Amino acid sequence: MKKIMTSLLTTTALTGLFAPTIIQAQDALTIAMVTDQGGVDDKSFNQSAWEGITAYGEENGLTEGLEGYTYIQSNSDSDYITNMNSAVSAGFDLIAGIGFKLESAIDEIAQQYPDKQFLIVDALVEQPNVASINFRDNEAAFLAGVAAAKTTETDHLGFIGGVEGVIIDRFEAGFIEGAKAVNPDIEVQVEYVGSFADAPKGKQIAAAMYANDIDVIYQAAGDSGNGVFSEAKDIVSNDPSKNIWVIGVDMDQEAEGIIEVDGKERQLTLTSTLKEVGSAVKTFAETSSKDGFKAGNQVFGLKDGGVGITEGNLSDDAKAEIETYKEKIINGEIEVPETPAE
Reported pTM = 0.86
Residue 166 sits in the same domain as residue 263:
yes
**Euclidean distance between CA atoms 24 and 10, whole angstroms:** 21
What confidence tens digit (pLDDT) does each residue in 209-242 have?
999 999 999 999 999 999 999 999 999 999 999 9
Q: Are residues 242 and 316 in the same domain?
A: yes
pLDDT in tens, 299-329: 999 999 999 999 999 999 999 999 999 999 9
Q: Is there a single domain that holds both residue 103 and residue 154?
A: no
* In a domain? residue 341: no
The packing angle between helices 79-89 and 103-112, to 10°, is 40
- Clarify whether residues 56 and 143 are in a common domain: no
Single-letter code of the amino acid located at 13: A
Instruction: Look at residue 41 in the predicted model and tell me its pLDDT.
Output: 82
Same domain, 84 and 68: yes
Q: Tell me the β-bridge partners of 296.
A: 131
pLDDT tens-digit series, residues 288-305: 999 999 999 999 999 999
Specify the pLDDT at position 6.
Answer: 30
Buried residues in 264-298 as b, exposed as e (16+ CB within 10 A): eeeebbbbbbbbbbbbbbbbbbbbbbeeebbbbbb
Question: 26 and 74: one domain?
Answer: yes
Q: Is residue 104 located within the same domain as residue 169?
A: no
21-31 burial, b at 16+ Cβ within 10 Å, e below that, comes to: bebeeeebbbb
**Which candidate, 244, 274, 278, places its Cα nearest to that of 259?**
244
CATH code, domain carrying 199: 3.40.50.2300
Residue 184 burial (10 A CB sphere; 0-12, 13-18, 19+) = exposed
Q: So what's the pLDDT on residue 44?
A: 77
Q: What is the DSSP letter of 99?
A: S
Cα–Cα distance between 240 and 85 in angstroms, integer?
A: 51
- Which residues in the chain come in under a pLDDT of 70? 1-26, 342
Q: Tell whether 8 is covered by a domain.
A: no
Strand partners, 64: 69
The reply to whether 148 falls in a domain is yes
Number of domains within the chain: 2
Instruction: Look up the domain containing 228 and give its range.
Output: 137-274+307-330
In a domain, 340, yes or no: no
- Percent of the chain's residues with pLDDT above 70: 92
Cα angle vertex 158, ends 152, 164, to 5°? Answer: 150
State how far the Cα of 113 lies from the Cα of 229, in Å rounded to an integer.
Answer: 42
Per the CB < 8 A criterion, the answer to whether 120 and 97 are in contact is yes
